Structure 1
Amino acid sequence: MMPYRPEPFTDFNNESEENRFKQALVQVRTQLGRDYPLFIGNKTVETKRRILSVNPSNFNQVIGSVSHADAVLAEQAIQTAYSAFATWSGVSLESRADCLFRAAAELRRRKHEFSAWLMVEAGKVRTEADGETAEAIDFMEYYGRQMLQLAQRGERELIGMSGERNRLDYLGLGVGIIIAPWNFPLAILAGMTTAALVAGNTVVVKPSSLTPVIAIKFVELLRHAGIPTEAVQLLPGSGKEIGQYLTAHPLTRFISFTGSKDVGLHLHELSSRQVSGQRWLKRFVGELGGKDAIIVDRDADLEQAAQGIVASAFGYSGQKCSACSRAIVHRDVYDAVLKRCSELADELKVGDVQDFYCGTGPVINQSAYESILGYIHIAKTEGRITAGGSAAGGDGWFIRPTVVADADPGSRIMQEEIFGPLLAFTKADDFEDALRIANFSDYGLTGSVYTHNRKNIERARDTFAVGNLYINRKCTGAIVGVHPFGGFNLSGTDSKAGGPDYLQLFTQPKLTSERL
């Protein structure tokens, strides 16, 4: 087998790739507005209650009408998954890994099609969509290989003892609940789902109600790749109704969640309670967000720092858990970095992502739009607007990239996760002060430091309380197998998705010792 290598991003300067992508986008446009069922075992279920998925770049355009699950259907789904566990977990891990490899190959063939769906349903510019599709491919290629290596490790790493044969097998846990977010509706859903499956578990997938069509397309792809229909149930629906019901269910063995801090903490608490009929401690694997900071030292390359800050803050309109929302800059270079970041933010073209020259697109829905504009109003009292500061107009949920100067480290815009195109600047007296400000947060997901001072780099490595620390580069764009991803503190369980330890979260090791 070839060693794992990350999927290359598409070169859109290549005319043939450009034309293939345009054809895929045209193909996807012809499919807009269709009705979609939910999946329970080998059944497709249509419901009267519907989820309308709309294009955030054009909120008058319906992407699809999706069946809406309820508690009755959730019960059917988890019972189906539970019944299928014995069969699926008994499939050889080589065969399970092969299913992932086939799914990755199919997604690679349909790469532009899935990227086009990400553009119209999630509001991603083309390069962001292409990067996410590549990440989904990477998760499947990587986890398939990691499962094979994990099995070998169980035989290889035990200490030998005369007269005994010992082995450690990594077995599936049971039924997992996959609660996926809207901001990476393909890559994160693919990673959480296929990691659980390749480890021998069956799953009930609850996608975000904002991006259900992409989830349907992906689950169909998994089934075409050989994953049994009973092993993957797809239940679009309300998080409060479906997510809570499944989390509390006695047959649930683990919950894999990516989303907001408040929802994650609630589900974590719910999963810790034993209910009647429950015979195990449930595992909770969670990624709950961030309030990510970039530190700029006095000796940094200021243009490099400004470019990295703006890319981190306003890529996908700041709707990434890893996005930079705090710039902490040494007072000696503060004015220069602030000025350059404000210029770069104003240069970003905001609009419909189907315009390939668009720099950033909409926020995801009306609720996010109103919340972010509310924070911009707060920012005008907590700091000084130097770029953006308003809606951008149009038939989508467009907000201008906003830069706020002179924010207090304890202010709301420096402490609360906004999840939008709002970047707050604050001054630091020196590098130690910058680290203190950066660590003054409930979160600890990603962070960057721009400096050429080796002592300060080592100091940041030792004391900057984040799960993913980057030096002289942006704080977004983790690559599977290269940058295992997960955060400290209230950013989650530091599960390190895309890393060598991740699959163990979905397995239980069993030792067999035989006297010879």
Structure 2
Amino acid sequence: MSIGTFSYPLPANEPVLNYGPGSAEKKRLKEVLAELKNEQADIPMYIGGREVRTEKKVAIHPPHENKHVLGHFHAGDATHVQQAIDAALGARESWAAMSWESRAGIFLKAADLIAGKYRPYMNGTTMLGQSKNAYQAEIDAACELIDFLRFNVHFLGEIYKQQPVSGPGMHNRMEYRPLEGFVLAVTPFNFTAIGGNLPTSAALCGNVVVWKPANTQVYSAQMFMRILREAGLPDGVINLVYVDGPTLGEVCFNHRDFAGVHFTGSTGVFNKMWETIGKNMSSYRTYPRIVGETGGKDFVLVHKSANADVVATALLRGAFEFQGQKCSAASRAYIPSNIAEDVKAKLVEGVKSFKVGTVEDFTNFVNAVIDEKSFDKIRQYIDDAAKDPNATILVGGDADKSKGYFIQPTVIETKNPQSVTMCEEIFGPVLTIYVYDENEFEQALELVDTTSPYALTGSIISTDRAAIERATVKLKQAAGNFYINDKPTGAVVGQQPFGGARASGTNDKAGSILNLYRWLSARTIKETFQPPVDYRYAFLQEQ
């Protein structure tokens, strides 16, 4: 039993290294990239204390160099999912009973390992496996993941401190139990930090987890799993499996001890999960927690008072960093007629100045999209826009997958604010702009609010305070993360808790105290010091 109340103060965000010319971090990262490319990793599943290998080996290729082999992971099947559940449930009692300070120590140590010797390895596996440039990998696989681990410890410590009042002759207390069963974490390719946070936030709260990353993120996921093991995570607490989605769902969503799902991915998949869970409710021991961050069709609304350089910079960064594959990427923009020509010219100039290529060349701003399926889908959107009489491709539009999955950053201007590329999530380096009459700001606000079913991120760019306030009020439900005079990307843990509503998810705000409440089940305990010995109350007596 713990003796003492342990404090975990609010941490500072992990400093972002700049990888400038001649810097030690740049030199070391390049060494690690060469090391990783010169070997082929043999990547097992991690189930309980075992490294599980199968006969089905799947090759991992850098998206920007599709003929190179980084290694192979061992794909599993339904039996491995069941083994992972069994291992998790086997570890559940001892993990839940472990003292809070010991659980916290494991994840704080993992954060320090990433901040130190494993930093270039987390960044390197992310760069090669997901085609992120050095800066995008640094803010994701290093800084954001470190922040998730440290801030979650602080937030959970604050939750544990929250206790009820006690009246005379009694003591009341609240304990925050883990959920009764196992939690399923399903994580996407685009952020290594999300891949790390979804299983660990639930595990920190005392839960046991089955973790399935996207196949296109396995390379960095297994590196993080190795770090967790080195940090002292007990066997079975988090079990890493590589299976297809339907197989995973068939086993997990039909299991009596399924207690919750922590998900980031497409709206369609999340909707299907919710439907399946609903149909299976009579089978579960308890009501499962369903937490998901899904799609986005993120907007930038520009007011006539805006500075064209500010607008162009926000769009060039917001739409094209990491090839537009951020859930928060600027995908549709509404430009007032008075500055439209200036903004368009600056966008064309900026895109033409981008260097596109491999991550090993640090001068490349844009790299490859994640895989061939994504490449083909994005290219189809661009090809269809080229045939649309209401659309004009201002810059970009080319695509080449002969060596890697390269889509040239593309800006489309449309005369139809309800066009396909203004409404549908593309998840690639494609920005569509619509020019509206500078004096019809109210109509533009209505368009922004009603065009898309999503409500993840968005921004207003203006120097007119009244316009900023009007947009902030009118677009209250249009974005869970709303930015003023900035791009709609780049949320930082502890500063801008992330998540949206409508078709963008349950808005449980990863990187905040709100998310952790979802992985806890509170129990109130009342202790009476002098219990009554007679049932009669005073009101029963007349004299």
Q: TM-score if structure 1 supplies the norm length? A: 0.96
Which residue is 1:139 aligned to?
148
AA aligned to 1:348 is F
Which residue is 1:40 aligned to?
47
Q: Which moved more, 1:451-460 or 1:418-427?
A: 451-460
Q: Which moved more, 1:331-340 or 1:73-82?
A: 331-340
Correspondence for 2:356 among 335, 350, 359: 350
Which residue is 1:456 aligned to?
467
Which residue is 2:417 aligned to?
409
8 Å Cα contact 1:51/1:209 also seen in 2: no
Residues 66 and 188 of structure 1: is their aligned pair in 2 closer, same or farther, counting only changes over 3 Å?
same
Q: Deviations over 1:30-50 (max 9, x none)?
A: 33x222111110111111112
AA aligned to 1:481 is G
8 Å Cα contact 2:297/2:454 also seen in 1: yes
Residues 244 and 129 of structure 1: is their aligned pair in 2 closer, same or farther, counting only changes over 3 Å?
farther
8 Å Cα contact 1:250/1:276 also seen in 2: no
Q: Aligned with 2:399: secondary structure?
A: coil
- Distance of 2:280 and 2:171 partners within structure 1: 37
Q: Aligned with 1:230: secondary structure?
A: coil
Q: Aligned with 1:178: secondary structure?
A: strand
Q: Deviations over 1:23-69 (max 9, x none)?
A: 222222233x2221111101111111122221101000122211111
Q: 1:71: Cα distance to partner?
A: 0.6
Whether 2:442 is the aligned partner of 1:436: answer no
Whether 2:498 is the aligned partner of 1:485: answer yes
Correspondence for 1:470 among 469, 477, 483: 483
Q: Aligned with 1:73: secondary structure?
A: helix
Residues 497 and 416 of structure 1: is their aligned pair in 2 closer, same or farther, counting only changes over 3 Å?
same
- Distance of 1:96 and 1:468 partners within structure 2: 31
Moved over 3 A (4+): none
Which residue is 1:427 aligned to?
435
8 Å Cα contact 1:51/1:237 also seen in 2: no
8 Å Cα contact 1:205/1:235 also seen in 2: yes
Matched residues, number: 511
Q: Aligned with 2:69: secondary structure?
A: strand
Which residue is 1:152 aligned to?
161
Residues 208 and 450 of structure 1: is their aligned pair in 2 closer, same or farther, counting only changes over 3 Å?
same
- Distance of 1:204 and 1:255 partners within structure 2: 10
8 Å Cα contact 1:248/1:275 also seen in 2: no
- Distance of 1:329 and 1:159 partners within structure 2: 54
AA aligned to 2:71 is G
AA aligned to 1:343 is E
Q: Deviations over 1:388-447 (max 9, x none)?
A: 011156511001000001242211111110000110001233322222121121000000
Residues 77 and 51 of structure 1: is their aligned pair in 2 closer, same or farther, counting only changes over 3 Å?
same
Within 5 Å, give how 1:113-128 maps onto structure 2.
113-128=121-136
Which residue is 2:196 aligned to?
190
8 Å Cα contact 2:281/2:287 also seen in 1: no
Q: Deviations over 1:358-407 (max 9, x none)?
A: 01100011111110000001212141000101115651100100000124
**Larger radius of gyration, structure 1 or 2?**
2
Q: Aligned with 1:285: secondary structure?
A: strand
- Distance of 2:282 and 2:488 partners within structure 1: 44
Correspondence for 1:365 among 367, 371, 389: 371
Sequence identity percentage: 33
- Distance of 1:277 and 1:438 partners within structure 2: 42
Correspondence for 1:250 among 240, 252, 256: 256
8 Å Cα contact 2:302/2:462 also seen in 1: yes
Which residue is 1:68 aligned to?
75
Whether 2:392 is the aligned partner of 1:387: answer no
Superposed CA RMSD in Å reads: 1.4
- Distance of 1:272 and 1:10 partners within structure 2: 45
Residues 304 and 201 of structure 1: is their aligned pair in 2 closer, same or farther, counting only changes over 3 Å?
same
Whether 2:119 is the aligned partner of 1:111: answer yes
Correspondence for 2:205 among 179, 184, 199: 199
Q: Aligned with 2:72: secondary structure?
A: strand
Correspondence for 1:28 among 29, 32, 36: 36
Which residue is 1:504 aligned to?
517
Residues 244 and 298 of structure 1: is their aligned pair in 2 closer, same or farther, counting only changes over 3 Å?
farther
Which residue is 1:101 aligned to?
108
- Distance of 2:498 and 2:232 partners within structure 1: 28
- Distance of 1:336 and 1:513 partners within structure 2: 67
Q: 1:10: Cα distance to partner?
A: 0.7
Q: 1:276: Cα distance to partner?
A: 6.2
Q: Aligned with 1:203: secondary structure?
A: strand
Whether 2:346 is the aligned partner of 1:340: answer yes
Unaligned runs of 5+ in 2: 1-7, 530-543
Residues 129 and 244 of structure 1: is their aligned pair in 2 closer, same or farther, counting only changes over 3 Å?
farther
